[in-house]
A and B are shown apart, each in its own frame.
Chain A
Amino acid sequence: MFSRDRWKEIIEVLTSNWFRTVLTAFGVFWGISILIILLSAGKGLENGIKQDFGDIATNTMFMWTRSTTKAYQGLPMGRRFRFKIEDVQSIRNNVPNLRYVSPRNQLGGFRGGNNVVRGLNAGAYNVYGDYPEIINQDPMTVTSGRFINYNDINDKRKVAIIGNGVRSDLYDKDEEVIGTYIKIQGVNFLVVGTYKKKSNNGDGEEGQKEIYVPFTAFSQAFNQGNNVGWMAITAHDGSSISSLKEGIINVVKTKHKIHPEDNRAVGYFDLYEQYNRVESLFGALKAVAYLVGIMVLLSGIIGVSNIMLIVIKERTKEIGIRRALGEDPWSIKKQILMESIFLTIISGMAGIIFGSLFIYIVNTILDAVGPVDMFINPSVNLGVVVVALLILMVSGLLAGFIPAQSAIKVRPIDALRTD
């Protein structure tokens, strides 16, 4: 298979008409380049969109209350209700496979007034009353000190973890943060930690300007009683939150005497569903990239097949001589197949290199001009390259198959007679 003479002959045949060989190779080269470029462009778009999800656990839903739209059990429509802290336990008891059920309360919000004061500095921030689990659902890195723990919850300690954005607003650059007090709506909280969030989307800045305090301390300090503003619920990895949300909402409906068919009383946002939609979008995009790339590649392969047929035609007499000298047909077939595979793979490799180079240049430009919306780091991984090479190998084989077959179909006596 790897005999020197065979390879020498392959090179001789392919180099005997340089211009023709290069033109033929270009078809394959172009096809595989386009495949690579399309796939990596898709990957870049995917990276860009997925970055917007940040580190948030994607198997998560958020749930809040609205007013009822149906009268039920003697209660009027248009009634407002609030989640209670007991709801958390009933959800946990009635719906299996839930990993975290985090009740949350919130102060401040979009364009709120200044609600936090420290000495002469003041600012408007979102203040959340949370349980320790929230750090797993909305991941953040604690950069100094610690996060909320269950001792804080049980003792209703007035402690706060502030974002790096809050810190730079309220503190001097080198000032020690841990152990100082900030006043949230007139109530002093001890700062025990700072955090940083990775989320890099439009409100990335906003993410750094939040304050987390223990849920129980929040309720007591700001007179929430046992009210819960909203909930963040994450399912275990094996089951999707989309399939569990019906059960969760039903539990809440029963507890709050809401008509079972009142679909608007409980508001929710299913992150998993959104994420899946994006996932399937990119799945489709990838399929289109493969389809277009392979179609373009196909025309290149037909070119190779065509040229191989012409080469066979030109070499009919030579093949006749070889067979008269006793070369067996299979050897001739192998020779032609190897020629075609060699040609496709060499030109395909050149195509892969060209495509990767193109992507590399695009990346360099992207790095130079700064981030572009929804397009980050287009790239192809090794898997794609391996797949491309496999496609090339198969297509080289296909391209050579018909010519090889026709080469040995001619009887040696007829082949010798041709001029």
Chain B
Amino acid sequence: MIRVELDVMLARRKMKLKDLAAEVGISVTNLSLLKTGKAKGVRFETLAAICASLDCQPGDLLIFEKEED
């Protein structure tokens, strides 16, 4: 499964979700969905905007974890 580490990156950058939403240009609700892992997918456009805003790579935000049976 893919785990979203947005909260970790936000903490590192000392940034609030509200400010990131304003910078990226998407709603706080959608960003919150992404942060809590409820989102089913991320558009490349959104990912690029988040990476640009947080000055990081997609790999810093998305981590693959092997699921145990």
Q: Do A and B bind each other?
A: no
